[in-house]
């Protein structure tokens, strides 16, 4: 009796698969292609909406208004003003947020003390803080700075506290056994362990904080991106309003992609090290 | 002089609750300076808990522990864990320095000396993730010796390694110990390993009581293949088997 052997096809290695995939297919299925596709989709949606609705300014009108603002010399002064207020507010939120988050993560007493204020802070929206700070501090730099700080600091605290609570028990026990001083434990064990949580907290601070700064400028006047956006809004010219929003959102996106992303990659370079 | 003295030590988990369980009961022994003492026993007899109590990570329920130091100051301890417990985001050298009291040149030189003794001087700037499991454990051993401890605790440091790496590290440990003559309390479930390394073996039985205290009077360096070592290993194994039988009978 004879048997028929079905030939078994040898399985290909990942290297072979990689070599067989054409370059155009690799490019089309890359992460960068997905990002470009998302941007293009958003842009097409914007064009479509502006074509359908008269009160939605299209990209060309927005660019025209932005050029006008540049020509009037309004951009650098106002943008710089907002950036200063935003930067100081986020920096303060980061420093205070890390300190309070570490205390909440390490100490039961600290957690009990800060838990309620942080919860209240999380539940108050940026618009309420902007009203309050304008009432308290008037039309200067202080209202937008404090609004940015107050809206973003609870998010940094919550993220950092969560990270500190997650620090490896084994490494903490090792530090206890060797009597490692508290300051060194915070610097060499706790802070590096919570870097990811700090980064997530700062990201939140930036995303939430810019709402705060723009709203405080919107209501408090005294110059800045929020002030100029309101100026165009009051003039019933939505192209100018949108131009300022696009400018600031664009800046936040670039800041996130080219600064924060790289800082995070550098902080986690030890993860890329493998045997 | 005794570096470590333990008297009537007991440990009960979940005291005052229905889940209360006594893991160590009436433990008393002392460890003289410069000796290598192993604690052996079956899983769950409280070996690691005892080590954690000595190190201060765990609190004891009753009894006394005292540690003395040659310097007159507080006793310094080193601890080699089952896993290396290195900070993954710090280089090997920074891990060595993390547990040191000071950053003097002398301390740095000592850290380098012990790294060199475990054959990792060239890897001082590597991150732990760039080393194999065995190499990471060698860093853990070098770190523990480099603090110049009055008492060095080791909790089954070779149990996660393959047999060949473990054998190499045991030989290395014997060499370093012979040079430094530190006082060591070594926890293991491996009797063969205990006989090879120790001056004395304390056998814990289920329920956390001391069953036997055995003196190992054999010349060093020892290797598992030495006939005298093998004979003693067989004898100690026999005693442990007898203990297990006795425990099973008592339980029945």
Would you state the pLDDT for residue B4?
A: 93
In a domain, A4, yes or no: no
**A41 and A75 together in one domain:** no
**φ, ψ for residue A107 (rounded to 5)?**
-120, 130
Would you state the pLDDT for residue B159?
A: 87
Would you state the pLDDT for residue B187?
A: 95
In a domain, A180, yes or no: yes
**A115 and A155 together in one domain:** yes
Provide the domain limits for residue A46: 22-56
Number of compact structural domains in chain B: 1
- Does residue A226 carry a pLDDT above 60? yes
Provide the domain limits for residue B44: 2-76+149-251
What is the four-CA torsion angle of A204, A206, A211, A216, rounded to 10 degrees? 130
Check A270 against B129: CB less than 8 A apart.
yes
Q: Measure CB to CB from residue B129 to each of A180, A189, A274 and give the nearest one.
A: A274
Would you state the pLDDT for residue A275?
A: 43
SS3 per residue for chain B:
CEEEEEEEEEEEECCCCCCCEEEEEEEEEEEECCCEEEEECCCCCCHHHHHHHHHCCCCCCEEEEEECCCCCCCCCEEEECCCCCCCCCCCHHHHHHHCCCCCCHHHHHHHHHHHHHCCCHHHCCCCHHHCCHHHHHHHHHHHHHHCCCCEEEEECCCCCCCHHHHHHHHHHHHHHHHHHCCCEEEEECCHHHHHHHCCEEEEEECCCEEEEEEECCCCCCCCCCCHHHHHHHHHHHHHHHHHHHHHHHHHC
In a domain, A105, yes or no: yes
**A52 and A31 together in one domain:** yes
Question: Which class for B105: exposed (0-12), middle (13-18), buried (19 or more C-beta within 10 A)?
Answer: exposed
**A133 and A248 together in one domain:** yes
CB A250 within 8 A of CB A62: no
Higher pLDDT, B244 or A99: A99
Residue A196 contacts B where some CB pair is shorter than 8 Å: no
> Nearest-CA neighbor of B119 among B104, B103, B105, B137?
B137
In a domain, A17, yes or no: no
| Half-sphere exposure of residue B109: CA atoms within 13 angstroms, side-chain side | 3
Q: How far is A64 from chain B (nearest CA, A)?
A: 50
Q: Which residue of A has its CA nearest to B76?
A: A178
Measured CA to CA in angstroms, residue A31 lies from A26, A100, A189, A253 at distances of: 10, 37, 33, 17
When pLDDT is averaged across residues A9-29 and rounded to a whole number, the result is 80
Neighbour tally for B21: CB within 10 Å: 11
Structure tokens at A150: 């107050």
Q: Measure CB to CB from residue A178 to each of B94, B130, B147 and give the nearest one.
A: B147
Of A215-229, B22-36, B74-88, B206-220, the least confident: A215-229
**A43 and A106 together in one domain:** no
Residue A7: pLDDT band (50, 70, 90) is low
Chain A residues in contact with B88 by the CB 8 A cut-off are 270-271
In a domain, B207, yes or no: yes
**A47 and A94 together in one domain:** no
Separation of alpha carbons A49 and A149, rounded Å: 35
Measured CA to CA in angstroms, residue A209 lies from A144, A201, A252 at distances of: 10, 11, 11
Of A7-11, A64-68, A111-115, B148-152, the least confident: A7-11
CB B60 within 8 A of CB B11: yes
Q: What's the mean per-residue pLDDT of chain A?
A: 86
In a domain, A14, yes or no: no
Q: Which residue of B has its CA nearest to A179?
A: B99
In a domain, A229, yes or no: yes
pLDDT tens, B13-71?
988 888 888 899 999 999 999 999 999 988 888 999 999 999 988 999 999 999 988 77
When pLDDT is averaged across residues A111-126 and rounded to a whole number, the result is 92
pLDDT tens, B180-221?
889 999 999 888 889 999 999 999 998 889 999 999 998 888
- Does residue B1 carry a pLDDT above 70? no
The residue from A56, A76, A102 where one domain ends is A56
Would you state the pLDDT for residue A1?
A: 52
| Half-sphere exposure of residue A189: CA atoms within 13 angstroms, side-chain side | 27
Proportion of chain A above pLDDT 70, given as a percent:
95
The CATH number linked to B34 is 3.40.50.300
**A43 and A109 together in one domain:** no
Separation of alpha carbons A257 and A198, rounded Å: 17
In a domain, A16, yes or no: no
Residue A191 contacts B where some CB pair is shorter than 8 Å: no
Number of compact structural domains in chain A: 2
Residue A275 contacts B where some CB pair is shorter than 8 Å: yes
CA B89-B93-B95 angle, to 5 degrees, is 50
Q: How far is A166 from chain B (nearest CA, A)?
A: 15
Q: Measure CB to CB from residue B85 to each of A170, A270, A273 and give the nearest one.
A: A170
The CATH number linked to A117 is 1.10.3720.10
Q: Which residue of B has its CA nearest to A171?
A: B85
Q: What's the mean per-residue pLDDT of chain B?
A: 90
Residue A270 contacts B where some CB pair is shorter than 8 Å: yes
Residue A176 contacts B where some CB pair is shorter than 8 Å: yes
| Half-sphere exposure of residue A126: CA atoms within 13 angstroms, side-chain side | 24
In a domain, A9, yes or no: no
**Residues belonging to chain B with any Cβ–Cβ distance to chain A shorter than 8 Å:** 52, 55-57, 76-79, 81, 83, 85, 87-90, 94, 98-99, 126-127, 129-132, 147, 153
């Amino acid at each position: 009796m004879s048997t028929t052997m079905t030939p078994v096809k040898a399985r290909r290695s990942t290297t072979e698969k990689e070599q067989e995939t054409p370059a155009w297919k690799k490019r089309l299925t890359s992460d960068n292609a997905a990002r470009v596709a998302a941007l293009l989709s958003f842009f097409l949606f914007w064009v479509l909406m502006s074509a359908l609705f008269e009160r939605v300014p299209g990209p060309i009108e927005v660019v025209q208004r932005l050029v006008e603002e540049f020509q009037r010399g309004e951009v650098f002064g106002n943008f710089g003003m907002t950036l200063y207020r935003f930067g100081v507010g986020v920096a303060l939120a980061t420093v205070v947020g890390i300190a309070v988050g570490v205390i909440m993560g390490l100490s039961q007493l600290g957690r009990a003390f800060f838990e309620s204020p942080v919860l209240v802070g999380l539940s108050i929206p940026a618009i309420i803080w902007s009203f309050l700070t304008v009432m308290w501090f008037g039309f200067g730099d202080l209202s937008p700075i404090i609004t940015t700080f107050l809206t973003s600091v609870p998010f940094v605290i919550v993220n950092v506290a969560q990270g500190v609570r997650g620090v490896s028990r084994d490494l903490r026990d090792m530090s206890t056994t060797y009597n490692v001083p508290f300051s060194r434990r915070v610097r060499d064990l706790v802070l590096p362990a919570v870097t990811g949580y700090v980064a997530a907290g700062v990201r939140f601070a930036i995303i939430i904080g810019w709402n705060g700064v723009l709203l405080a400028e919107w209501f408090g006047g005294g110059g800045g991106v929020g002030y100029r956006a309101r100026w165009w809004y009051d003039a019933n010219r939505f192209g100018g309003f949108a131009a300022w929003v696009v400018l600031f959102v664009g800046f936040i996106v670039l800041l996130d992609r080219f600064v924060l992303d790289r800082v995070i990659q550098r902080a986690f370079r030890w993860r890329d090290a493998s045997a | 002089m005794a570096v470590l003295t333990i008297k009537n030590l007991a440990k009960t988990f979940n005291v005052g609750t229905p889940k209360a369980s006594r893991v160590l009961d009436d433990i008393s022994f002392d460890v003289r300076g410069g000796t290598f003492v192993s604690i052996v026993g079956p899983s769950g007899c409280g070996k690691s808990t005892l080590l954690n109590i000595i190190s201060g990570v765990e609190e004891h329920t009753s009894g006394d522990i005292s540690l003395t130091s040659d310097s007159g100051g507080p006793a310094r301890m080193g601890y080699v864990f089952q896993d290396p417990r290195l900070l993954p985001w710090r280089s090997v050298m920074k891990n060595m320095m993390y547990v040191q009291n000071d950053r003097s040149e002398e301390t740095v030189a000592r850290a380098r000396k012990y790294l060199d003794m475990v054959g990792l001087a060239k890897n001082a700037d590597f991150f732990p993730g760039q080393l194999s499991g065995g190499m990471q454990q060698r860093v853990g051993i070098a770190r523990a010796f480099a603090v110049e401890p009055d008492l060095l605790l080791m909790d089954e440091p070779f149990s996660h390694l393959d047999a060949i790496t473990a054998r190499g590290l045991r030989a290395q440990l014997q060499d370093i110990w012979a040079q430094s003559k530190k006082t060591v309390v070594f926890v293991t479930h491996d009797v063969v390993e205990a006989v090879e390394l120790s001056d004395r073996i304390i056998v814990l039985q289920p329920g956390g009581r001391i069953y036997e205290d055995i003196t190992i009077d054999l010349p060093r360096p020892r290797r598992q293949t030495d006939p005298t070592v093998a004979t003693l290993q067989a004898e100690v194994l026999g005693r442990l088997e007898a203990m297990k039988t006795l425990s099973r009978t008592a339980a029945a």
